[in-house]
Structure 1
């Protein structure tokens, strides 16, 4: 082990530039904490001419990140390129194969190839560290893998995507549509030009798959995550949630059940009194339910250059201290194969908004179909406009009106069965809205 720890950084976007700044700014403190000088010696990025606000003149520039990963000039390869395939995957494999420690913020790479990369890291006796891959600056990986190692975890869930939380927060506070809030998020740089990966839940699903492996000691199973996004949420849903004592959040939820591990990402109603309901804007939050500590919630910045760089530098510090931990909390051979629980078997409360034809007997017909599917209704609200109520007090116009149901615990399969029957009865004017309720 040399006294100086030499870093090679691939990817000099917002996060990469922030890591460069942080390592330089905190040089004395990092040396004091680790007993080693930590320095960046080589870099790789697509554009040499871009001004990144830091002097790069003394660094060795590699056009090819794979060549950087293999270079004898570095001890640690910091991968900030992104993407589950291509240069990022090839460079990380090359670094691990060459006996280099790897620090990455790449959740997609880990979600799809984490097991294979962990085996490669173990075979070469090096670290594969990824604190920055989930929830930005929140140290949730360390909390679960190390801080809670004496606990049996039953559930981990959270707000893992700041773009979605920003959109839902704005929709709730200002009564705006999803489309209007998305446009603002793009203008502010919170959402990409193509926002699908964020707003349809795939980013959250990748992060959840990583947390699931850590929390429950199972192999990563990104394909086993049930995923729904927020694009179908309407202002009325947020208004009704508020009246019923809830807020709507896009949650990633992993839960241990007798049948296996549930992994699901979807819009969720959470009680307004809960800690996670207070998290607004681009902030992230992760809650862990464990036997010894009970409920533990970590809240903080889930994205951004400085926050993500903070997590990257924390991993670099561990490497400098010689801490090489099993990637997912235990040797890869000890991870159990995943036992998927299909969404149809999920059991919980539901918010169901039906747009029905405003005529006599519709509510009774809906209630009958729910009862036939063994679903108990906690509350039912029919929302008619003041104009419609005054002009048609008997409700005989047949015009579409919203009918909102809150159910007691029911299985997803039974709820879907009841909705299909209601549709066959010709009671629906448009597709139903279904939002799960996460109880504390």
Structure 2
């Protein structure tokens, strides 16, 4: 590190990269106050050097050659905001082995290769920070590793994908279909042209793997996360949720009981009075339950140029402080606990189910008998005939039961002659 300044190499100058350059340029006084020296952007890697950009950069700083960043001995910190996984992994491993500290906003990379990158960082006396990889401008990772480090975290539950939250919000508020809202979300830039990673829950799953690994000090991988997206959610489902006093959100859940964990992402019904039920549009929020602190909630914008860039530059400040103190590369710790996943008979929840059944004598008795035989009882129940048809809709919210019991019940219901179809099924959280 130069005694006079900290020099940064930036990989990527898209939405977040532009925000990083803007904050570093505009907040020099605050940065100098925090760490006692200025911050200089020395090189910026881009794909197209001729492209017009909304930030004013000296042409000499812009390069399309990755070697200009990775092998420049005058660069202290590499900030990665270009995305990608395999090639980006190789670039960051090279940076760390060349003694450069790394800040990344790359959730895909950290979910798959975070343990490896952190280990290489430690071996080379380097820092690796990744706050912006989970919830944009919300400082959730720093809160887990610093603010709540003395507590034992038992549960993390939240909305960690802004695209799906926007879609479900508009479907609920406007009565629009999934397809209609998705199209609007794409036009507004809240959803990608290929929205699969968001709407099928993969983006949220990566974030929950990162949260669970850090919060539980346990090596949780992406494959450990049970995932279900929102593409099959219908306006009818949301209408019944509302009628029964619930709101639907795509919820990421990481829960630990007696050393065993479950991690999932799925559309979930929440009571309307639950704080997460009032988190709308593209905003994110994470509830954290600790044995000592109780319940805490972190809320804010989950994406966007400046919110995400703020998290990136905050990580940069942490690196700079460590550099001046001479303690870089010491934050990496091996997981304290072995990963033990809950079995289906250890996962407990309430469930929402919507059935189309034959509207005739004996149907209700057959359905209720099957529920009883699987030790699943009703908390709420609606039975509504469908005009002009010989079928009715039965909407059920169960009491708490195990995932194993519920899955067995679901299979038997799908085979029952008086049931025309199981239209939908969702987890229910919150309440008693």
TM-score w.r.t. length of structure 2: 0.95
Give, in whole Å, the separation in 1 of the partners of 2:226 and 2:82: 27
| Match in the other structure for 1:353 | 354
User: Relative to 1, partners in 2 of residues 1:291 and 1:194: Cα closer, same or farther, differing over 3 Å?
Assistant: same
Task: Please report how far the alpha carbon of residue 14 of structure 1 lies from its aligned counterpart in structure 2 after TM superposition.
Answer: 0.4
Give, in whole Å, the separation in 2 of the partners of 1:95 and 1:58: 23
Match of 1:331 among 333, 339, 359: 333
Alignment of 1:95-106 (within 5 A): 95-106=95-106
| Match in the other structure for 1:217 | 217
Give, in whole Å, the separation in 1 of the partners of 2:217 and 2:328: 14
* Post-superposition CA distance 1:293-329 (Å, at most 9, x none): 21100110000001100000101111111265778x6
| Match in the other structure for 1:391 | none
Task: Please report how far the alpha carbon of residue 373 of structure 1 lies from its aligned counterpart in structure 2 after TM superposition.
Answer: 0.8
Task: Name the count of aligned residue pairs.
Answer: 427
- Secondary structure of the residue aligned to 2:368 is helix
Give, in whole Å, the separation in 2 of the partners of 1:360 and 1:419: 22
User: Relative to 1, partners in 2 of residues 1:403 and 1:325: Cα closer, same or farther, differing over 3 Å?
Assistant: farther
Asked whether the equivalents of residues 161 and 204 of structure 1 are also in contact (C-alpha less than 8 Å), the reply is yes
Asked whether the equivalents of residues 115 and 220 of structure 1 are also in contact (C-alpha less than 8 Å), the reply is no
| Match in the other structure for 2:51 | 50
Give, in whole Å, the separation in 2 of the partners of 1:291 and 1:243: 34
More divergent stretch after superposition (415-424 vs 159-168): 415-424
More divergent stretch after superposition (34-43 vs 235-244): 235-244
Give, in whole Å, the separation in 2 of the partners of 1:59 and 1:118: 32
Give, in whole Å, the separation in 1 of the partners of 2:329 and 2:271: 37
Task: Please report how far the alpha carbon of residue 280 of structure 1 lies from its aligned counterpart in structure 2 after TM superposition.
Answer: 0.4
Give, in whole Å, the separation in 2 of the partners of 1:384 and 1:425: 19
Asked whether the equivalents of residues 226 and 343 of structure 1 are also in contact (C-alpha less than 8 Å), the reply is no
Match of 1:398 among 370, 390, 399: 390
Give, in whole Å, the separation in 2 of the partners of 1:202 and 1:304: 19
| Match in the other structure for 1:17 | 18
More divergent stretch after superposition (359-368 vs 17-26): 359-368
Give, in whole Å, the separation in 1 of the partners of 2:246 and 2:372: 25
- Secondary structure of the residue aligned to 1:218 is coil
- Secondary structure of the residue aligned to 2:44 is strand
| Match in the other structure for 2:83 | 82
User: Relative to 1, partners in 2 of residues 1:59 and 1:208: Cα closer, same or farther, differing over 3 Å?
Assistant: farther
TM-score w.r.t. length of structure 1: 0.93
Task: Please report how far the alpha carbon of residue 83 of structure 1 lies from its aligned counterpart in structure 2 after TM superposition.
Answer: 2.2
| Match in the other structure for 1:94 | 94
Alignment of 1:29-428 (within 5 A): 29-65=30-66, 67-86=68-87, 88-258=88-258, 260-322=260-322, 331-332=333-334, 334-343=335-344, 345-385=346-386, 387-388=387-388, 398-399=390-391, 401-428=392-419
Task: Please report how far the alpha carbon of residue 344 of structure 1 lies from its aligned counterpart in structure 2 after TM superposition.
Answer: 6.0
Asked whether the equivalents of residues 40 and 59 of structure 1 are also in contact (C-alpha less than 8 Å), the reply is no
User: Relative to 1, partners in 2 of residues 1:59 and 1:23: Cα closer, same or farther, differing over 3 Å?
Assistant: farther
